[in-house]
Amino acid sequence: MLVYGDRSRQTEVRGELESLASLNETLALMPAGIERHAWLADLFIRAAELAQGIADAEFEQWGEDRLTFAQQVSMRLVRATASSLCQSWQNGFAAAPLNIDAQLRLLSSAEGAIHCRRQEGFAFYALYPEAYFAAARRCGLQFHSVLGIRSIGLGLAAIVAEATAARTCISVRPIGHPFRRKLALGADFKSTLGAEPVAVVDEGPGLSGSSFLAAAETLEQLGLERIHLFPSHRNPPGFAASEATRKRWNCFAKHVEDFDALFIESQEPRHQLADWCADVTGPALAPLEDLGGGQWRRYRPGAPALPRWERRKFLLRSTRGSFLLRFVGLGRYGSDSLRRARQLAGAGFTPPVLGLRHGFLIEEWLDARPIETAPRSALLARLASYLAFRARHMPAPPASGASLSELAAMLVHNAGEIGLAPNAWKARARALEARVRPIETDNKLQLWEWLHTPCGIVKADAYDHCAGHDLVGCQDIAWDIAGAICEFDLASLELDELLQRLEHDGIRADRALIDFLRPCYAAFQLGTFTLATENVTAQDDAAALSARENYRRRLEQETRVLEPSL
């Protein structure tokens, strides 16, 4: 099933340098504390993205990783920001010294376009650079060289290098089949990696662990034996790894620091998530309640869960009330979610937002009844107002989501997995592409995401699915209307009413786009729930299995009814 999607942004080196210089000036004026530390993490991530973009551009030029001047200077820039971030963490968020003027000046002559890849761990999976610092300090080793696997491994390698006083820190780009990666190293790389011990750093392992093992086995071929891995979790490689790969994985020393140990159970109060938020929530009255991995269903019984895609979230209870702490991303990723959250909360569509603390959004926890208890007419009216608000006030830049051709390819692939062949959509996509007007769509309109509260109908989980780790991204408002048709099971007259309400609010939806996207939406949700229910039984999650079956029936219905008209 096709579900996932990776994004990168094309930018100019000069523009990135100007952004770093501006952020550095702002940091110099900020008081010590968790918010300054979060800005410092943003600077670190942006510096790492710049270095990754430069390295990948040169890799494309040479066909191999080489130690060029630009890469060495950009890595020194990343290490400088990593050093300051580590000192800030170690010193309880006291203002750590940071001087990157020399590196920015040396890079000022660099020009050209680069592609900075989205760092998924920082954006979605609550992967914190501080965890790698803690793991590196705890291992008690001093590495000669640290090898970071691009993309996210580049910055994380700088953290490990600073924590262990490593002499050399470099990055590599694994290439080839996702499950059979290999490295292409220039001679200068090989001569640099001439001493032990060596650390290999990345997020993961993923489905196969092939990126980690490609790096480790290349080091072995160069005669190095003392190789240590720094992954983001303790699990072995996934289902795509062979038995031989699993055995090889177990041969290497690995160093990991768990999220809960670092941020929930820490003996240092200033490192605890609850303490980061205390200025707006008040002191916690009890330990944070973990709502991740579907545990939120204690308060929303009957809803299906998607643990693979769920972000870390906690319920905090204090003297001032109850609050939801939800990971929305480090650096600019979190700032974008905060902007959307404030827009929607300010208009009364979502729970009140109190702020952002180093990746975690703080919002009020609202007591709610099942949305089915709300009158249908009131729910449809609220839905129309909500969609109209997003369409009017939340525009998105071009190419910030999948094209119609990409959505059609996803539809054909996922539908083919259940024996359908909606081939007419590929040609129709080309004809409709110019009519798309992207906005920051909701992309998650399921009924269980709507709350019937004493204050009215409120939308939950509304901030970041337009920038999720999937292929959809930002779309025309027609995508959310197609989603509403599916999730609310809108009858023909109800759809007409919804479109009339939207038009009354100044939003004229494109009927042809809606019809095109209806089966695309069902196919995407079918793919999502199919992946989420692998190895799941009815005893584990009957609701998720039922949702998957509902999306399969919806996809069959939409392709059968709509394809003749296309």
Least confident of 217-221, 299-303, 518-522: 299-303
Q: How confident is the model at residue 95 (pLDDT cuts 50, 70, 90)?
A: confident
Over range 251-269, report the average pLDDT: 96
Q: How confident is the model at residue 423 (pLDDT cuts 50, 70, 90)?
A: confident
**DSSP secondary structure string, 235-256?**
----TTS-HHHHHHHHTSEE--
- Contact indicator for 391, 507 with CB cutoff of 8 Å: yes
Residue spans per domain, the chain? 10-260, 272-364, 371-565
Alpha carbon of 469 to those of 45, 131, 211, 462, 555: distances in Å? 18, 22, 20, 15, 22
Q: Indicate the burial class of 405 (C-beta count within 10 angstroms; 0-12, 13-18, 19 or more).
A: middle
- Contact indicator for 363, 397 with CB cutoff of 8 Å: no
Q: Tell me how far apart the alpha carbons of residues 158 and 41 are, in angstroms, rounded to a whole number.
A: 13
Beta bridge partners of 170: 147
Tokens of 64: 């191999």
Q: How confident is the model at residue 370 (pLDDT cuts 50, 70, 90)?
A: confident
- Name the residue with higher pLDDT: 519 or 425: 519
**Arithmetic mean of pLDDT over the chain:** 94
Q: Over 80: is that where the pLDDT of 194 sits?
A: no
- Total count of residues recorded for the chain: 566
Return all residues near 107 (Cβ < 8 A) that are at least 6 apart: 13, 17, 70, 73, 74, 77
Q: How confident is the model at residue 339 (pLDDT cuts 50, 70, 90)?
A: very high
Beta bridge partners of 254: 229
Q: What is the pLDDT of residues 434-468, one digit of tens each?
A: 999 999 999 999 999 999 998 899 999 999 999 99
pLDDT of residue 502: 97
Q: Over 60: is that where the pLDDT of 565 sits?
A: no
- Contact indicator for 364, 351 with CB cutoff of 8 Å: yes
| Equal CATH topology for 10-260 and 371-565 | no
3-state secondary structure of 289: strand
Q: Indicate the burial class of 162 (C-beta count within 10 angstroms; 0-12, 13-18, 19 or more).
A: buried
Q: How confident is the model at residue 307 (pLDDT cuts 50, 70, 90)?
A: confident
Q: Tell me how far apart the alpha carbons of residues 114 and 118 are, in angstroms, rounded to a whole number.
A: 13
Q: Are strands 8-12 and 227-230 parallel, antiparallel or unpaired?
A: unpaired
Over range 470-496, report the average pLDDT: 97
Tell whether the torsion through CA atoms of 460, 461, 466 and 472 is positive or negative: negative
Q: Over 70: is that where the pLDDT of 562 sits?
A: no
Burial 211-230 (b: 16+ CB within 10 A, else e): bbbbbbebbeeeebeebbbb
**DSSP secondary structure string, 376-413?**
HHHHHHHHHHHHHHHHHH-B--TTSB--HHHHHHHHHH
Q: Over 90: is that where the pLDDT of 557 sits?
A: yes
Q: How confident is the model at residue 560 (pLDDT cuts 50, 70, 90)?
A: confident
Domain 10-260 class in CATH? alpha beta
Q: Reply yes or no: is the peptide bond before residue 205 cis, omega within 30 of 0.
A: yes
Domain 272-364 has CATH 3.30.200: yes
What percentage of the chain reaches a pLDDT higher than 90? 84
3-state secondary structure of 37: helix
Domain 371-565 has CATH 3.90.1200.10: yes
Return all residues near 563 (Cβ < 8 A) that are at least 6 apart: 422, 424, 425
